[in-house]
Structure 1
Protein backbone atom coordinates (compact mmCIF):
# COMPACT_ATOMS: atom_id res chain seq x y z
CA UNK A 1 0.00 0.00 0.00
CA UNK A 2 1.43 3.32 -1.04
CA UNK A 3 0.26 6.74 0.13
CA UNK A 4 1.91 9.97 1.16
CA UNK A 5 2.34 10.41 4.92
CA UNK A 6 3.84 13.65 6.21
CA UNK A 7 2.82 13.45 9.92
CA UNK A 8 1.36 11.09 12.51
CA UNK A 9 -1.28 11.77 15.15
CA UNK A 10 -1.07 9.27 17.98
CA UNK A 11 -3.60 8.22 20.59
CA UNK A 12 -2.19 7.74 24.12
CA UNK A 13 -4.19 5.46 26.45
CA UNK A 14 -3.99 1.80 25.38
CA UNK A 15 -1.85 2.83 22.42
CA UNK A 16 1.33 4.09 24.06
CA UNK A 17 0.62 2.60 27.51
CA UNK A 18 -2.10 0.42 29.08
CA UNK A 19 -4.68 2.41 31.03
CA UNK A 20 -6.20 -0.35 33.21
CA UNK A 21 -3.35 -0.45 35.77
CA UNK A 22 -3.37 3.35 35.95
CA UNK A 23 -7.10 3.41 36.60
CA UNK A 24 -6.85 0.77 39.31
CA UNK A 25 -3.99 2.60 41.02
CA UNK A 26 -5.90 5.91 40.92
CA UNK A 27 -8.85 4.31 42.70
CA UNK A 28 -6.62 2.81 45.38
CA UNK A 29 -4.59 5.97 45.99
CA UNK A 30 -7.63 8.26 46.21
CA UNK A 31 -9.39 5.86 48.56
CA UNK A 32 -6.31 5.64 50.80
CA UNK A 33 -6.05 9.43 50.80
CA UNK A 34 -9.72 9.80 51.73
CA UNK A 35 -9.32 7.26 54.53
CA UNK A 36 -6.68 9.56 56.01
CA UNK A 37 -8.26 12.96 55.31
CA UNK A 38 -12.00 12.24 55.21
CA UNK A 39 -12.78 8.85 56.78
CA UNK A 40 -16.53 9.41 56.46
CA UNK A 41 -16.19 9.82 52.69
CA UNK A 42 -14.01 6.72 52.39
CA UNK A 43 -16.49 4.70 54.44
CA UNK A 44 -19.52 5.83 52.46
CA UNK A 45 -17.81 5.61 49.08
CA UNK A 46 -15.48 2.61 48.98
CA UNK A 47 -13.78 1.92 45.65
CA UNK A 48 -16.66 0.01 44.04
CA UNK A 49 -19.24 2.60 45.12
CA UNK A 50 -17.04 5.48 43.98
CA UNK A 51 -16.69 3.75 40.61
CA UNK A 52 -20.47 3.50 40.30
CA UNK A 53 -20.79 7.16 41.27
CA UNK A 54 -18.33 8.08 38.54
CA UNK A 55 -20.28 6.06 35.96
CA UNK A 56 -23.47 7.83 37.04
CA UNK A 57 -21.79 11.22 36.66
CA UNK A 58 -20.70 10.27 33.13
CA UNK A 59 -24.22 9.12 32.20
CA UNK A 60 -25.85 12.24 33.66
CA UNK A 61 -23.52 14.69 31.91
CA UNK A 62 -23.20 13.71 28.24
CA UNK A 63 -22.27 17.32 27.45
CA UNK A 64 -19.00 16.70 29.32
CA UNK A 65 -18.00 13.57 27.41
CA UNK A 66 -15.00 15.49 26.06
CA UNK A 67 -13.87 16.60 29.54
CA UNK A 68 -12.94 13.63 31.72
CA UNK A 69 -11.28 15.91 34.27
CA UNK A 70 -14.52 17.80 34.82
CA UNK A 71 -16.39 14.52 35.26
CA UNK A 72 -13.81 13.33 37.77
CA UNK A 73 -14.19 16.59 39.66
CA UNK A 74 -17.99 16.24 39.73
CA UNK A 75 -17.63 12.71 41.11
CA UNK A 76 -15.32 13.69 43.95
CA UNK A 77 -17.31 16.81 44.77
CA UNK A 78 -20.50 14.76 45.04
CA UNK A 79 -18.83 12.21 47.32
CA UNK A 80 -17.51 14.94 49.60
CA UNK A 81 -20.86 16.73 49.77
CA UNK A 82 -22.82 13.53 50.44
CA UNK A 83 -20.51 12.62 53.31
CA UNK A 84 -20.59 16.16 54.80
CA UNK A 85 -16.86 16.54 54.21
CA UNK A 86 -14.92 19.78 53.87
CA UNK A 87 -15.02 20.81 50.20
CA UNK A 88 -11.57 22.29 50.66
CA UNK A 89 -10.42 18.68 50.26
CA UNK A 90 -11.53 18.64 46.62
CA UNK A 91 -8.48 20.23 45.02
CA UNK A 92 -5.95 18.18 47.03
CA UNK A 93 -7.87 15.01 46.15
CA UNK A 94 -7.78 15.97 42.48
CA UNK A 95 -4.03 16.53 42.70
CA UNK A 96 -3.70 12.94 43.95
CA UNK A 97 -5.65 11.91 40.85
CA UNK A 98 -3.47 13.90 38.45
CA UNK A 99 -0.25 12.70 40.06
CA UNK A 100 -1.26 9.07 39.64
CA UNK A 101 -2.83 9.64 36.23
CA UNK A 102 0.51 10.73 34.83
CA UNK A 103 2.57 7.86 36.18
CA UNK A 104 2.56 5.81 33.01
CA UNK A 105 4.42 2.65 32.05
CA UNK A 106 4.68 2.39 28.30
CA UNK A 107 4.32 -0.86 26.42
CA UNK A 108 7.73 -2.52 25.90
CA UNK A 109 7.80 -1.60 22.21
CA UNK A 110 6.47 1.92 22.55
CA UNK A 111 9.33 4.26 23.43
CA UNK A 112 11.86 2.91 20.96
CA UNK A 113 9.25 2.87 18.20
CA UNK A 114 8.03 6.36 19.11
CA UNK A 115 11.60 7.65 18.91
CA UNK A 116 12.01 6.09 15.46
CA UNK A 117 8.69 7.45 14.21
CA UNK A 118 9.36 10.96 15.54
CA UNK A 119 12.73 10.96 13.77
CA UNK A 120 10.88 10.36 10.49
CA UNK A 121 7.82 12.62 10.71
CA UNK A 122 6.24 15.06 13.17
CA UNK A 123 4.15 13.25 15.79
CA UNK A 124 1.23 14.90 17.58
CA UNK A 125 -0.71 13.40 20.48
CA UNK A 126 -4.46 13.30 19.90
CA UNK A 127 -6.37 12.05 22.92
CA UNK A 128 -9.76 11.96 24.59
CA UNK A 129 -8.02 11.32 27.91
CA UNK A 130 -6.47 13.65 30.45
CA UNK A 131 -2.85 12.54 30.58
CA UNK A 132 -0.34 15.38 30.51
CA UNK A 133 2.68 14.44 28.41
CA UNK A 134 4.89 16.97 30.19
CA UNK A 135 4.06 15.42 33.57
CA UNK A 136 4.55 11.97 32.05
CA UNK A 137 8.01 13.04 30.85
CA UNK A 138 7.22 12.20 27.22
CA UNK A 139 6.47 15.57 25.65
CA UNK A 140 9.85 15.80 23.89
CA UNK A 141 8.68 13.14 21.41
CA UNK A 142 5.71 15.23 20.25
CA UNK A 143 5.29 18.48 18.36
CA UNK A 144 2.09 19.15 20.35
CA UNK A 145 -0.66 17.50 22.37
CA UNK A 146 -4.31 18.11 21.51
CA UNK A 147 -6.88 16.83 23.98
CA UNK A 148 -10.64 16.64 23.72
CA UNK A 149 -11.00 18.96 26.71
CA UNK A 150 -8.84 21.63 25.06
CA UNK A 151 -10.59 21.26 21.72
CA UNK A 152 -14.16 21.05 23.03
CA UNK A 153 -15.11 17.82 21.27
CA UNK A 154 -13.89 14.25 21.47
CA UNK A 155 -12.92 11.61 18.97
CA UNK A 156 -14.55 10.30 16.78
CA UNK A 157 -15.83 13.80 15.96
CA UNK A 158 -14.16 14.98 12.76
CA UNK A 159 -13.43 18.43 14.15
CA UNK A 160 -10.71 17.28 16.56
CA UNK A 161 -8.89 15.44 13.76
CA UNK A 162 -9.21 18.49 11.51
CA UNK A 163 -7.88 20.75 14.29
CA UNK A 164 -4.79 18.57 14.58
CA UNK A 165 -4.25 18.66 10.82
CA UNK A 166 -4.59 22.44 10.84
CA UNK A 167 -1.92 22.73 13.52
CA UNK A 168 0.30 20.44 11.47
CA UNK A 169 -0.42 22.60 8.40
CA UNK A 170 -1.21 19.49 6.38
CA UNK A 171 -4.27 18.20 4.54
CA UNK A 172 -5.96 15.24 6.29
CA UNK A 173 -4.94 12.82 3.52
CA UNK A 174 -1.27 13.34 4.43
CA UNK A 175 -1.77 12.62 8.14
CA UNK A 176 -1.85 9.10 9.58
CA UNK A 177 -3.79 8.65 12.80
CA UNK A 178 -2.74 5.73 14.98
CA UNK A 179 -4.80 4.36 17.85
CA UNK A 180 -6.22 1.28 19.54
CA UNK A 181 -9.94 2.03 19.37
CA UNK A 182 -11.76 0.87 16.22
CA UNK A 183 -14.45 3.56 16.42
CA UNK A 184 -12.81 6.49 18.22
CA UNK A 185 -9.48 6.20 16.42
CA UNK A 186 -9.64 4.24 13.17
CA UNK A 187 -13.20 4.97 12.01
CA UNK A 188 -13.06 8.51 13.35
CA UNK A 189 -9.88 9.27 11.44
CA UNK A 190 -11.20 7.75 8.22
CA UNK A 191 -14.43 9.71 8.55
CA UNK A 192 -12.40 12.91 8.85
CA UNK A 193 -10.38 12.12 5.74
CA UNK A 194 -7.15 11.03 7.46
CA UNK A 195 -5.30 7.82 6.85
CA UNK A 196 -5.83 5.39 9.71
CA UNK A 197 -3.77 2.74 11.46
CA UNK A 198 -5.53 0.45 13.92
CA UNK A 199 -3.10 -0.65 16.62
CA UNK A 200 -4.59 -4.05 17.36
CA UNK A 201 -2.45 -5.31 20.23
CA UNK A 202 -4.94 -8.06 21.15
CA UNK A 203 -5.33 -9.57 17.71
CA UNK A 204 -9.05 -8.86 17.51
CA UNK A 205 -11.25 -9.15 14.45
CA UNK A 206 -12.29 -5.84 12.90
CA UNK A 207 -15.57 -5.18 14.75
CA UNK A 208 -17.23 -2.50 12.61
CA UNK A 209 -19.47 -2.89 9.60
CA UNK A 210 -17.48 -0.48 7.47
CA UNK A 211 -14.22 -0.26 5.58
CA UNK A 212 -11.13 -1.46 7.39
CA UNK A 213 -8.37 1.07 8.15
CA UNK A 214 -5.46 1.61 5.80
CA UNK A 215 -3.06 -0.15 8.14
CA UNK A 216 -3.28 -2.60 11.03
CA UNK A 217 -0.37 -3.58 13.27
CA UNK A 218 0.06 -5.45 16.53
CA UNK A 219 2.53 -2.95 17.96
CA UNK A 220 4.26 0.34 17.27
CA UNK A 221 7.48 -1.36 16.18
CA UNK A 222 5.66 -2.75 13.15
CA UNK A 223 4.41 0.75 12.33
CA UNK A 224 7.92 2.19 12.65
CA UNK A 225 9.20 -0.57 10.34
CA UNK A 226 6.45 0.21 7.82
CA UNK A 227 7.24 3.93 7.89
CA UNK A 228 10.95 3.23 7.42
CA UNK A 229 10.24 1.12 4.36
CA UNK A 230 7.50 3.35 2.97
CA UNK A 231 9.37 6.62 3.37
CA UNK A 232 12.61 5.14 2.02
CA UNK A 233 10.72 3.86 -1.01
CA UNK A 234 9.04 7.22 -1.51
CA UNK A 235 12.36 9.09 -1.23
CA UNK A 236 13.97 6.71 -3.72
CA UNK A 237 11.11 7.14 -6.16
CA UNK A 238 11.32 10.93 -5.82
CA UNK A 239 15.04 10.84 -6.59
Structure 2
Protein backbone atom coordinates (compact mmCIF):
# COMPACT_ATOMS: atom_id res chain seq x y z
CA UNK A 1 0.00 0.00 0.00
CA UNK A 2 1.37 3.40 -1.01
CA UNK A 3 2.07 6.13 1.49
CA UNK A 4 -0.27 9.09 1.68
CA UNK A 5 0.77 11.65 -0.97
CA UNK A 6 1.98 15.01 0.30
CA UNK A 7 -1.14 17.13 0.62
CA UNK A 8 0.49 19.80 2.80
CA UNK A 9 0.13 22.48 0.13
CA UNK A 10 -3.66 22.12 0.24
CA UNK A 11 -4.21 22.62 3.95
CA UNK A 12 -5.34 20.17 6.60
CA UNK A 13 -8.64 18.90 7.88
CA UNK A 14 -9.49 17.57 11.31
CA UNK A 15 -10.43 13.90 11.31
CA UNK A 16 -13.86 14.67 12.76
CA UNK A 17 -14.79 16.47 9.54
CA UNK A 18 -14.79 13.07 7.85
CA UNK A 19 -16.04 11.01 10.78
CA UNK A 20 -18.79 13.33 11.94
CA UNK A 21 -21.64 11.33 10.45
CA UNK A 22 -20.22 7.85 10.58
CA UNK A 23 -17.84 7.47 7.62
CA UNK A 24 -14.92 5.28 8.59
CA UNK A 25 -12.21 4.28 6.16
CA UNK A 26 -12.37 0.69 7.39
CA UNK A 27 -16.07 0.53 6.46
CA UNK A 28 -15.40 1.62 2.88
CA UNK A 29 -14.71 -1.10 0.31
CA UNK A 30 -14.96 0.97 -2.88
CA UNK A 31 -15.04 4.56 -4.11
CA UNK A 32 -17.26 6.07 -6.78
CA UNK A 33 -16.36 9.54 -7.95
CA UNK A 34 -17.91 12.19 -10.15
CA UNK A 35 -15.73 13.71 -12.90
CA UNK A 36 -16.87 17.15 -14.12
CA UNK A 37 -16.33 19.87 -11.48
CA UNK A 38 -14.94 17.23 -9.13
CA UNK A 39 -11.67 16.32 -10.85
CA UNK A 40 -11.61 19.30 -13.24
CA UNK A 41 -13.65 22.46 -13.90
CA UNK A 42 -16.08 21.69 -16.70
CA UNK A 43 -17.19 25.05 -18.11
CA UNK A 44 -13.75 26.24 -19.29
CA UNK A 45 -13.47 22.88 -21.07
CA UNK A 46 -16.89 23.18 -22.75
CA UNK A 47 -16.32 26.80 -23.75
CA UNK A 48 -12.99 25.92 -25.34
CA UNK A 49 -14.49 22.93 -27.16
CA UNK A 50 -17.31 25.11 -28.50
CA UNK A 51 -14.77 27.66 -29.78
CA UNK A 52 -12.86 24.89 -31.57
CA UNK A 53 -16.13 23.59 -33.05
CA UNK A 54 -17.04 27.07 -34.30
CA UNK A 55 -13.62 27.44 -35.94
CA UNK A 56 -14.16 24.10 -37.68
CA UNK A 57 -17.59 25.19 -38.89
CA UNK A 58 -16.20 28.46 -40.26
CA UNK A 59 -14.03 26.37 -42.58
CA UNK A 60 -16.43 23.54 -43.46
CA UNK A 61 -19.92 25.01 -42.97
CA UNK A 62 -19.68 28.83 -42.89
CA UNK A 63 -23.42 29.46 -42.97
CA UNK A 64 -23.86 27.30 -39.87
CA UNK A 65 -20.95 29.02 -38.15
CA UNK A 66 -22.60 32.37 -38.80
CA UNK A 67 -25.83 31.15 -37.22
CA UNK A 68 -24.04 29.95 -34.07
CA UNK A 69 -21.99 33.03 -33.26
CA UNK A 70 -23.56 33.59 -29.84
CA UNK A 71 -23.96 31.40 -26.79
CA UNK A 72 -27.68 32.17 -26.88
CA UNK A 73 -27.98 30.76 -30.40
CA UNK A 74 -26.13 27.58 -29.44
CA UNK A 75 -28.30 27.17 -26.35
CA UNK A 76 -31.51 27.74 -28.34
CA UNK A 77 -30.70 24.94 -30.78
CA UNK A 78 -29.70 22.67 -27.92
CA UNK A 79 -32.96 23.37 -26.06
CA UNK A 80 -34.99 22.71 -29.20
CA UNK A 81 -33.34 19.33 -29.71
CA UNK A 82 -33.98 18.56 -26.05
CA UNK A 83 -37.70 19.14 -26.66
CA UNK A 84 -37.78 17.25 -29.95
CA UNK A 85 -35.71 14.28 -28.74
CA UNK A 86 -36.63 13.42 -25.14
CA UNK A 87 -35.06 10.02 -25.78
CA UNK A 88 -31.67 11.78 -25.66
CA UNK A 89 -32.26 13.34 -22.25
CA UNK A 90 -29.41 11.37 -20.67
CA UNK A 91 -27.18 11.31 -23.75
CA UNK A 92 -25.21 14.55 -23.87
CA UNK A 93 -23.21 13.30 -26.85
CA UNK A 94 -26.40 12.60 -28.75
CA UNK A 95 -27.86 15.98 -27.85
CA UNK A 96 -24.73 17.78 -29.02
CA UNK A 97 -24.52 15.78 -32.27
CA UNK A 98 -28.17 16.29 -33.16
CA UNK A 99 -27.96 20.00 -32.27
CA UNK A 100 -25.13 20.36 -34.77
CA UNK A 101 -27.13 18.41 -37.37
CA UNK A 102 -30.16 20.67 -36.90
CA UNK A 103 -28.04 23.82 -37.18
CA UNK A 104 -26.39 22.53 -40.37
CA UNK A 105 -29.75 21.68 -41.92
CA UNK A 106 -31.31 25.02 -41.03
CA UNK A 107 -28.36 26.95 -42.45
CA UNK A 108 -28.45 25.02 -45.71
CA UNK A 109 -25.14 23.27 -45.16
CA UNK A 110 -24.50 19.54 -45.58
CA UNK A 111 -26.14 17.82 -42.60
CA UNK A 112 -23.82 14.82 -43.00
CA UNK A 113 -21.02 17.01 -41.63
CA UNK A 114 -22.57 16.59 -38.18
CA UNK A 115 -20.48 13.53 -37.34
CA UNK A 116 -17.15 15.15 -38.23
CA UNK A 117 -18.15 18.37 -36.48
CA UNK A 118 -19.13 16.48 -33.34
CA UNK A 119 -15.87 14.52 -33.40
CA UNK A 120 -14.00 17.83 -33.45
CA UNK A 121 -15.94 19.06 -30.42
CA UNK A 122 -15.64 15.76 -28.55
CA UNK A 123 -11.87 15.51 -29.00
CA UNK A 124 -11.43 18.96 -27.50
CA UNK A 125 -13.89 18.20 -24.71
CA UNK A 126 -11.55 15.42 -23.55
CA UNK A 127 -8.72 17.91 -23.00
CA UNK A 128 -9.28 18.76 -19.34
CA UNK A 129 -7.16 20.64 -16.83
CA UNK A 130 -7.25 18.88 -13.47
CA UNK A 131 -7.75 20.61 -10.18
CA UNK A 132 -4.39 20.72 -8.42
CA UNK A 133 -5.37 18.11 -5.83
CA UNK A 134 -7.04 15.67 -8.24
CA UNK A 135 -4.05 13.59 -9.29
CA UNK A 136 -2.62 12.98 -5.80
CA UNK A 137 -6.15 12.20 -4.57
CA UNK A 138 -6.66 9.60 -7.31
CA UNK A 139 -3.28 8.08 -6.47
CA UNK A 140 -4.27 7.81 -2.81
CA UNK A 141 -7.78 6.49 -3.39
CA UNK A 142 -6.89 3.96 -6.07
CA UNK A 143 -4.04 2.52 -3.97
CA UNK A 144 -6.58 1.60 -1.26
CA UNK A 145 -9.90 0.90 -2.98
CA UNK A 146 -11.34 0.10 -6.40
CA UNK A 147 -12.41 3.44 -7.88
CA UNK A 148 -15.33 3.73 -10.29
CA UNK A 149 -15.99 6.85 -12.35
CA UNK A 150 -19.68 7.81 -12.12
CA UNK A 151 -20.70 10.67 -14.37
CA UNK A 152 -23.64 12.26 -16.14
CA UNK A 153 -21.10 13.81 -18.52
CA UNK A 154 -19.27 12.44 -21.53
CA UNK A 155 -15.62 12.46 -20.50
CA UNK A 156 -13.77 9.19 -21.04
CA UNK A 157 -11.24 8.60 -18.26
CA UNK A 158 -9.01 6.62 -20.62
CA UNK A 159 -8.96 9.33 -23.29
CA UNK A 160 -8.43 11.99 -20.62
CA UNK A 161 -5.40 10.03 -19.44
CA UNK A 162 -6.61 8.85 -16.04
CA UNK A 163 -7.67 5.31 -16.90
CA UNK A 164 -4.96 3.71 -14.76
CA UNK A 165 -6.68 4.93 -11.60
CA UNK A 166 -10.11 3.45 -12.39
CA UNK A 167 -11.46 -0.03 -11.86
CA UNK A 168 -14.49 0.79 -14.04
CA UNK A 169 -16.53 3.67 -15.44
CA UNK A 170 -20.31 4.19 -15.49
CA UNK A 171 -21.73 7.00 -17.65
CA UNK A 172 -25.32 8.16 -18.04
CA UNK A 173 -25.15 8.28 -21.84
CA UNK A 174 -24.20 4.59 -21.91
CA UNK A 175 -26.68 3.19 -19.39
CA UNK A 176 -29.71 5.35 -20.24
CA UNK A 177 -30.34 7.05 -16.89
CA UNK A 178 -28.49 9.65 -14.90
CA UNK A 179 -27.73 10.71 -11.36
CA UNK A 180 -29.60 11.07 -9.04
CA UNK A 181 -31.41 7.94 -10.29
CA UNK A 182 -30.64 5.19 -7.79
CA UNK A 183 -30.13 2.71 -10.63
CA UNK A 184 -26.94 4.35 -11.83
CA UNK A 185 -25.47 4.23 -8.33
CA UNK A 186 -26.45 0.57 -8.09
CA UNK A 187 -24.65 -0.13 -11.37
CA UNK A 188 -21.54 1.62 -10.06
CA UNK A 189 -21.55 -0.46 -6.87
CA UNK A 190 -22.02 -3.58 -8.98
CA UNK A 191 -19.08 -2.54 -11.17
CA UNK A 192 -16.97 -2.19 -8.02
CA UNK A 193 -18.13 -5.59 -6.82
CA UNK A 194 -19.40 -4.46 -3.42
CA UNK A 195 -22.76 -3.62 -1.78
CA UNK A 196 -23.93 -0.02 -2.01
CA UNK A 197 -23.57 0.50 1.73
CA UNK A 198 -19.84 -0.21 1.42
CA UNK A 199 -19.29 2.53 -1.18
CA UNK A 200 -18.22 6.12 -0.60
CA UNK A 201 -19.37 8.40 -3.41
CA UNK A 202 -17.52 11.68 -3.91
CA UNK A 203 -18.97 14.55 -5.90
CA UNK A 204 -19.59 18.28 -6.10
CA UNK A 205 -23.33 18.39 -6.81
CA UNK A 206 -25.47 18.41 -3.66
CA UNK A 207 -28.49 16.83 -5.38
CA UNK A 208 -27.07 14.70 -8.19
CA UNK A 209 -24.09 13.34 -6.28
CA UNK A 210 -24.65 13.57 -2.55
CA UNK A 211 -28.38 13.22 -2.02
CA UNK A 212 -28.56 10.78 -4.93
CA UNK A 213 -25.85 8.57 -3.45
CA UNK A 214 -27.39 8.64 0.03
CA UNK A 215 -30.83 7.80 -1.33
CA UNK A 216 -29.18 4.83 -3.07
CA UNK A 217 -27.75 3.60 0.24
CA UNK A 218 -24.19 4.82 -0.18
CA UNK A 219 -21.96 6.97 1.99
CA UNK A 220 -21.46 10.38 0.40
CA UNK A 221 -18.78 13.05 0.60
CA UNK A 222 -19.73 16.50 -0.64
CA UNK A 223 -16.85 18.29 -2.35
CA UNK A 224 -17.81 21.89 -1.60
CA UNK A 225 -14.93 23.89 -3.08
CA UNK A 226 -16.96 27.12 -3.11
CA UNK A 227 -18.00 26.92 0.56
CA UNK A 228 -21.73 27.29 -0.11
CA UNK A 229 -24.43 26.26 2.35
CA UNK A 230 -25.88 22.76 2.17
CA UNK A 231 -29.24 23.22 0.37
CA UNK A 232 -31.28 20.19 1.48
CA UNK A 233 -33.10 20.00 4.79
CA UNK A 234 -33.55 16.68 6.53
CA UNK A 235 -30.42 15.02 5.16
CA UNK A 236 -26.76 15.77 5.81
CA UNK A 237 -23.70 14.55 3.88
CA UNK A 238 -21.56 12.02 5.68
CA UNK A 239 -18.64 14.36 5.00
CA UNK A 240 -18.26 17.87 3.65
CA UNK A 241 -14.80 18.94 2.49
CA UNK A 242 -13.33 21.93 0.68
CA UNK A 243 -10.92 19.83 -1.37
CA UNK A 244 -10.07 16.29 -2.36
CA UNK A 245 -6.89 16.70 -0.39
CA UNK A 246 -8.88 17.25 2.79
CA UNK A 247 -11.00 14.21 2.08
CA UNK A 248 -7.94 11.99 1.61
CA UNK A 249 -6.32 13.31 4.79
CA UNK A 250 -9.45 12.58 6.74
CA UNK A 251 -9.76 9.08 5.32
CA UNK A 252 -6.11 8.39 6.10
CA UNK A 253 -6.76 9.35 9.72
CA UNK A 254 -9.85 7.15 9.80
TM-score category by the smaller chain? Answer: over 0.9
Alignment partner, residue 33 of structure 1: 56
Residue 59 (structure 1) shift: 4.3
1:116 counterpart residue number: 140
1:233 corresponds in structure 2 to none
Equivalent-residue separation in structure 1 for 2:85 and 2:250 (angstroms): 41
**What 5-or-longer segments of structure 1 have no aligned partner?**
231-239
CA distance in 2, matches of 1:51, 1:28: 14
Aligned residues: 230
Please report how far the alpha carbon of residue 56 of structure 1 lies from its aligned counterpart in structure 2 after TM superposition: 2.9
| Worse overlay, 139-148 or 53-62 | 53-62
Shift of 1:60: 4.2
Partner of 1:43: 66
| TM-score, scaled relative to structure 2 | 0.87
Q: Distance in 2 between matches of 1:210 and 1:105?
A: 35
Q: In structure 1, what is the equivalent of residue 102 of structure 2?
A: 78
CA deviation after TM superposition for structure 1 residue 87, in Å: 2.0
How far, CA to CA, are the matches of 1:182 and 1:50 in structure 2?
A: 27
The one of 168, 171, 174 aligned to 1:147 = 171
1:12 maps to what in 2?
Answer: 35
Aligned partners of 1:77 and 1:90 also within 8 Å: yes
Q: Aligned runs of 1:86-165 on 2, under 5 Å?
A: 86-165=110-189
Kindly indicate whether the alpha-carbon contact (under 8 Å) linking 1:65 and 1:154 is maintained by their aligned counterparts in 2. Answer: no
Helix, strand or coil at the partner of 2:76: helix
Show structure 2 runs of 5+ residues with no match: 1-18
Which ranges of 4 or more aligned residues in structure 1 deviate by more than 4 Å? none
TM-score normalised by structure 1 residue count: 0.93
CA RMSD of aligned residues (A): 1.2
SS of equivalent to 1:197: strand
SS of equivalent residue, structure 2 residue 236 = coil
Q: CA deviation at 1:41?
A: 0.7
182-191 or 54-63: bigger deviation: 54-63
